[in-house]
Amino acid sequence: MDIRKLTRFFLWCTIVNGAVLIVSFAVFAIGGTEFVYQMHGKWFAVPRETFDAILYLLLGIYKIAILVFNLVPYVALRIVAKG
């Protein structure tokens, strides 16, 4: 595979995953989690405070995953391509 195609692939992965993260955070910040909480409340007995903490934790893990698996390879390929 060509290094330019791989670089472009990681760029678009970073952009798409970043957009998903931003939309997810916006929904979480605006308070649109009530629907999700009600759906999962039917299956699992989790207090609202715990549910919010779990969502916040998952958003943090997702952000770290984007950085590690999308952004870092993109930056590394850009550095290698220049050298």
Residue type at 43 in one-letter notation: W
pLDDT at 48: 93
Q: Tell me the pLDDT of the chain (83 aa) as tens digits.
A: 899 999 999 999 999 999 999 999 998 889 888 888 998 889 999 999 999 999 999 999 999 999 999 999 999 999 999 97
Structural domain range at position 48: 3-82
Residue 62's nearest CA partner among 8, 31, 19, 29 is 19
Q: What is the pLDDT of residues 25-46, one digit of tens each?
A: 998 889 888 888 998 889 999 9
pTM of the shown model = 0.89
Q: How many domains does the chain have?
A: 1
Contact 83, 26 (CB under 8 A): no
Distance of alpha carbon 78 from alpha carbon 44, whole angstroms? 45
